[in-house]
Amino acid sequence: MRSTTSLLLVLALLILTGCSAFGEKEDETLSWSPSKFYSEAKSALDADDYEKAIEYYEKLQARYPFGTYAQQAQLDMAYAYYKSDEPESAIAAADRYIKLYPSDPHVDYAYYLKGLTNFNRGSGFLEGLLPTDRSQRDPGAAKNSFADFSTLVNRYPGSIYAEDSRLRMIYLRNNLSMYEVHVANYYMKRKAYLAAANRAENVVKNFQETPAVPYALRVMTNAYQAMDMPVLAKDADRVLAQNFPEHPSHTQGAMLPKVEHKGLFSFLGVLDEN
């Protein structure tokens, strides 16, 4: 009986030891130098293995927090987060780079990456298949993106990312102005005519030279008519007729454009999604 019990104990210990041995995998990176870490992380990044790249960049920064490799790893890691669709982490990594290395020659890219991350927030699979209107979305990310690109353009006008940033700012401004028109139309439907007129007037004053202006003028005309303010209604209609005589907002009374499926960047023609 004792021998049987002893045998069972030995077997149990062997099983536990075996499980422990199989459960623990030796970390191959323990002996890696900073250059080895960076090389392996960059290879993973180039191979689109963003999870592995992020793992190596994080280990590099944890073990070797000072030096050129750690600095470059911070920026590369922000890009890896961006490509792996982790916007919060991407922006946090870019912000950390900006804070730690404000005078670095590559800090313009950190701002650009922040702008791109916010720019692409909300873009999904269905957007490429169905007619969608980005101007109806919550404008928070668009405003942040515009601010990021604006910072880049103003602080680093000679940056290689400046021209693309300017084009994206035009796109964002157009969408932000059209968002205001959507809100004004919402107020019109709820018969909140004064709020609708004020929102539309904001577009005319602060978003000049955007496609939203003629629609805003139509909203103003209709809102003032609904409030029995003929003088203001005629003024808005006159400005609309003089400046946009062939526009649907004048010829058809349209307060919103028709949504057509043309692709996200079709009207700019020069942008890609990176």
For residue 198, give the CATH number of its domain: 1.25.40
CA distances from 269 to 53, 65, 152, 199, 265 (A): 32, 42, 22, 30, 6
Kindly state whether residue 28 falls inside one of the protein's structural domains: no
Q: How far apart are CA 249 and CA 258, in angstroms?
A: 11
> DSSP code of 247?
S
Residue 45 sits in the same domain as residue 153: yes
In a domain, 54, yes or no: yes
Measured from the Cβ of residue 214, the count of other Cβ atoms closer than 10 Å reads: 23
Which residue among 142, 167, 192 closes a domain? 167
The Cα 28–Cα 243 span in angstroms is: 69
User: Looking at the domain assignment, is residue 26 inside a domain?
Assistant: no
Q: Which residue has the tokens 């590369």?
A: 76
- Which among 98, 108, 91, 112 is positioned nearest to 155, based on CA atoms? 108
Dihedral of CA atoms 247, 248, 252, 256 in degrees, nearest 10, equals -140
Tell whether 141 and 90 lie within a shared domain. yes
User: pLDDT category, 90, cuts 50, 70, 90?
Assistant: very high
Residue 58 included in any domain: yes
The reply to whether 157 and 209 lie within a common domain is no
Question: Are 161 and 188 within one domain?
Answer: no
Cβ neighbours, 10 Å, residue 187: 19
Would residue 19 count as lying in a domain?
no
Structure pTM?
0.77
More confident residue, 5 or 121: 121
What is the domain extent for residue 223? 179-251
- 62: domain CATH number is 1.25.40.10
Whether 177 and 214 have beta carbons less than 8 Å apart is answered as no
24-39 pLDDT, tens digit per residue, is: 567 777 878 889 989 9
Q: Identify residue 242 by its one-letter amino acid code.
A: Q
Are 114 and 229 found together in one domain? no
CB atoms within 10 A of CB 259: 12
Structural domains in the chain (count): 2
pLDDT in tens, 122-181: 454 334 333 455 556 678 899 999 999 999 999 999 999 999 999 999 999 999 999 999
Confidence of residue 273 (pLDDT cuts 50, 70, 90): very low
Q: Assign 102 to helix, strand or coil.
A: coil
In a domain, 99, yes or no: yes
Note whether residue 186 is domain-resident.
yes
Same domain, 98 and 159: yes
